[in-house]
Amino acid sequence: MKHWCREQIMKGLRELVSEMDFIKKSEDYDGKKGGLWTIGTGGPGVFKEILPFNYKLDHGEILVSEGTRIIPNHSGMKVKEMYIYGIHRKIYSWLEKRGWYPEWRDSQALFFWKYTKDSDKKIKKNMENYQIYLDTHQIDGIEGEILQKLKQKFEVKND
């Protein structure tokens, strides 16, 4: 794997996601050196017909073809299947091939860091925390309705 420098990743992301006009050095956010910072969900336009970054996996249960034009090779996929860790899977793979990985601070602050020997632990922890977030906050479809009704019943019984 060839590790790209920060300037190459910044330039490459701007070319990959043409509407990405906000990308800065991580130092500008919190002083932590070496990374890049951009706006997450609701930030830079579209990539391959859908959001490039989608922290909450909004509309995750609908088919890609229901929300947009039919995207070749993805017409039967759900929106949430187009993402890894809330990052469009093609962007995630692009970063990985260049020795970088994403890290969400929250739904609006997305960072990119150079892969190091300690990154595996950090990436694993990020993925676990993200899955916990999705499991507890973003449930769409029938599961969400069932849990909401159970919660309401539980609250009534405890009043």
Q: Is residue 80 part of a domain?
A: yes
Of 32-41, 54-63, 103-112, 134-143, the poorest mean pLDDT is in: 134-143
Residue 99: what pLDDT? 92
Q: Is residue 65 part of a domain?
A: yes
Of the chain, the percentage scoring pLDDT greater than 90 comes to 28
Q: Is residue 1 part of a domain?
A: no
Mind listing the pLDDT tens digit for each residue in 90-103? Answer: 999 999 999 999 99
Tell me how far CA of residue 154 lies from CA of 31, 53, 135, 144, 157, in angstroms.
45, 35, 19, 15, 5
d(Cα 71, Cα 104) in Å, to the nearest integer?
A: 27
Q: Residue 150 — φ and ψ, nearest 5°?
A: -65, -40
Which residues lie closer than 8 Å to 61 by C-beta, 6 or more apart? 78, 79, 80, 140, 141
Q: Is residue 56 part of a domain?
A: yes
Mind listing the pLDDT tens digit for each residue in 106-152? Answer: 888 999 999 888 888 888 888 888 877 777 765 555 555 555 666 66
d(Cα 45, Cα 61) in Å, to the nearest integer?
A: 21
Residue 131: what pLDDT? 79
Domain count, the chain: 1
Supply the pTM of this predicted model: 0.74
- Domain of 61 in residue numbering reads as 6-158
d(Cα 2, Cα 146) in Å, to the nearest integer?
A: 47
63 against 113, higher pLDDT? 113
Q: Is residue 20 part of a domain?
A: yes
Local confidence band at 66 (pLDDT 50, 70, 90 cut-offs):
low
Which residues lie closer than 8 Å to 4 by C-beta, 6 or more apart? 12, 98, 99, 100
